[in-house]
Chain A
Amino acid sequence: MRHMAIIRNLVAYYTMIKSLSIFGHRLRLCLAVALVALGGLVHAAGLEVVVTGVGSNREPVIIPVFENEGSLPYTVSDVVRADLERSGRFSLINIGTLPLPEPLEPDFDALNSRGAHAALTASVVSVEGGRYEVRFRLYNTLTKVELGAMMLRMSPNQNRLTGHRIADFVYEKLYGMPGYFSTRIAYVVKSGTRYELQIADVDGMDAQPALRSNEPIISPAWSPDGQRLAYVSFEAKKPIIYVHTLTTGQRRVVANFKGSNSAPAWAPDGTQLAVVLTKDGLSQLYVINADGSGARRLTSSNGIDTEPFWSPDGEWIYFSSDRGGNPQIYRVSTRSGSVQRVTFDGSYNVSPRVSPDGKLLAFITRDGGRFRVAVQDLTSASRQTITLTDSSRDESPSFAPNGQMILYATDAGGRGVLSAVSPDGLVKQRLSVQASDVREPAWGPLLR
């Protein structure tokens, strides 16, 4: 695992140096890369992902080395295997360096004798312009039925992008819902007194800072199109909401009213944000247009209403409130403004997030001084709280776009780390950055 972290780190350093390459002499660049690469061996600083729990029924699958994969400078099949392994839903059967060439039908009996239920056949073909084509086909080896086939074109450096796409394909064919391996996450890293809002691939690779500040940054929220992040920055010595376009670095203040401005949440269509303002007293919910115009109040309590989160159908905004004496989760109708209480167990339930299918509520519950990720089935009348973790400082849950994992921040030895848990509590992962505090994760949308 340490080696993997180092490799990731090398790639990150390499990315950094490459971006400087237009300024430098080639030889100097070469030396710089060598020096930085050596430094990388000492300071492994990438976001490292470790699987700490797996599903109860993992699908045994063979992802072989691709035929002619050696012609690529960087491997693709390793990326596919790592993605599927990390999901906790598959067990990877190793058949060594033997490729299963596409479009040939594999020897099903031989694969079955290794315990496989499914296998990928794949070949790499060189095409014009220095590009490559990966052709692959997935089979149910027990029924000997082909489950689907695809071709992806790639430049040699797109090994990881291509690998994630193939892993998404395999996941969807075998697991029945879209994969999340091509998605990105946002989170905040605190190092000393510096704060950095970073964007990384969901496997922790390619972490890139979108914002650096010497004041806190909290509550990043992805726009539904994955192009923008709304967040709260304290750079002006008070909480102000910004919308930041990732591709250009352009930022726009969308809420800077008297008092505090916080907790942005995008409407499912991306045209509006629910926000928390204190311009009229204590924290209350408001809705604004995505450009910051047209603020209108949504809730009126004489306590705290905060942490809005839209249901996927746009009908409800879930939020936390102390209107009943202690913090509980409620929801307000975006049409009528009527409010219903949602959580009833315990004396502290906050940070509501609705699953993408609208059926499950994830939140943070306090239980004997411990803060843990919990879920409640929104389709059942029982309103039972199911606690998913046994940690004590969980915060900021965030669903994967397919609803199959919940990313959250927690504490490991006094330092912030990110973890993920499946809604059934079985699959568990940890993502950490060495010697840094990581917090405020937000899982980005599927980009199709």
Chain B
Amino acid sequence: MKKLLLPVLLSSVLLAACESTTVAPGSDTSGIPTVIVDAPVNPDTGYKELDDPSSILYKRSVYFDFDRYDINPQYRPLVEAHASFLSKHPELSIQIAGNTDERGSREYNLALGQKRAEAVRRALVLLGARDSQIEAVSLGEEKPACTAATEECYAQNRRGDLQYPAK
């Protein structure tokens, strides 16, 4: 029956297209307009220390252990450097984006990513950055740096990124 139906439908679709201008068959719902949004990409900051690949300030990511939301001591120099840079540049405001691996609920992971971003934000403020300079946000599991379902990948995605604004 299906084999028969296909050519019948095909020909009726073509015929209808050539002979009339009625709405498509089966168009039960009223037309839904499509809205298109495009987010800008993040270019250079315009600050030499930040854009210099040999500077510690060029490093912007803090990685977290599995199911951990506190900052591993190995990232203390990085966090200190950024806190100090921010305290010298009160005109700058940054965003910290928390990330998680892909396992589990998207919304729950969004909350876990927030917990990581918040840990970095608090550390920066404790080390001299102003509260008003920093916004902690979460991308949850939505923007993975690595997309394979492996432990190595998951580790790369458990991350807080310091995001300086585009210049």
Contacts and interface: CB of A to CB of B under 8 A. Distances in A.
Contacts of B3: 3
Given A210-B32, A246-B32, A371 B103 contact: yes
A219 B28 contact: no
Interface in B33-48: 33-39, 42
Interface string B50-78: 00000000000000000000000000000
A22 B31 CA distance: 15
A211 B17 contact: no
A216 B143 contact: yes
A211 B34 contact: yes
A218 B140 CA distance: 11
B107 A259 contact: no
Interface stretch (A25-33, A106-114, A171-179, A422-430): A25-33
A234 B106 contact: no
B69 to A, nearest CB: 10
Given A157-B27, A212-B36, A249-B33, 20 more contacts: A3-B5, A11-B25, A33-B14, A74-B12, A157-B24, A157-B25, A209-B34, A211-B37, A213-B37, A216-B143, A218-B110, A235-B37, A239-B137, A278-B138, A282-B118, A283-B110, A304-B115, A350-B107, A350-B108, A414-B149
A439 B105 CA distance: 11
A440 B38 CA distance: 20
Interface residues of B, number: 56
Contacts of A161: 28
Contacts of A348: 104
A7 B108 contact: no
A90 B140 CA distance: 42
Interface string A144-180: 0000000000011111110010000000000000000
Shortest beta-carbon contacts, A-B, top 3: A249-B33, A216-B142, A283-B111
B162 interface: no
A262 B35 contact: no
A237 B41 CA distance: 9
A351 B109 CA distance: 11
Contact of A214 (B2, B32, B39, B110): B39
A282 B98 CA distance: 12
Interface stretch (A200-208, A289-297, A382-390): A200-208
B17 to A, nearest CB: 4
Contacts of A74: 9, 12, 25-26
Chain B interface main SS type: mixed
Contacts of B14: 30, 33-34, 37
Contacts of A283: 110-111, 114-115
B86 interface: no
Contacts of B142: 216, 218, 234
Contact of B105 (A3, A37, A276, A307): A307
A396 interface: yes
Interface of B: 2-3, 5-6, 9-10, 12-14, 16-18, 21-39, 42, 95, 97, 103-108, 110-112, 114-115, 118, 135-140, 142-143, 149, 163
A201 B29 contact: yes
B110 A15 contact: no
Contact of A212 (B13, B34, B110): B34
Contacts of A237: 39, 42, 95, 97, 137, 163
A438 to B, nearest CB: 14
A6 interface: yes
Nearest to B4: A3
9 contacts: A157-B23, A159-B26, A208-B31, A218-B142, A237-B97, A239-B139, A260-B137, A262-B138, A306-B111
Contacts of A364: 104-105
Nearest to A184: B29
Contacts of B107: 218-219, 262-263, 276, 306-307, 350-351
A247 B2 contact: no
A21 B21 contact: yes
Nearest to B122: A281
A135 B130 CA distance: 72
Contact of A304 (B37, B38, B95, B112): B112
A216 to B, nearest CB: 4
A210 B35 contact: yes
Interface of A is mostly: mixed
B118 A206 contact: no
B39 A395 contact: no
B3 to A, nearest CB: 7
Given A236-B39, A259-B114, A327-B108, A199 B29 contact: yes
A206 B28 CA distance: 8
Contacts of B140: 218, 239
Contacts of A43: none
Given A251-B35, A259-B114, A327-B108, A234 B18 contact: no
A396 B106 contact: yes
A233 interface: yes
A24 to B, nearest CB: 10
A17 B17 CA distance: 9
A213 B136 contact: no
A18 B25 CA distance: 10
Nearest to A411: B149
A347 to B, nearest CB: 11
Contacts of B5: 3, 7
Given A239-B138, A278-B118, A304-B115, A260 B35 contact: no
A219 to B, nearest CB: 6
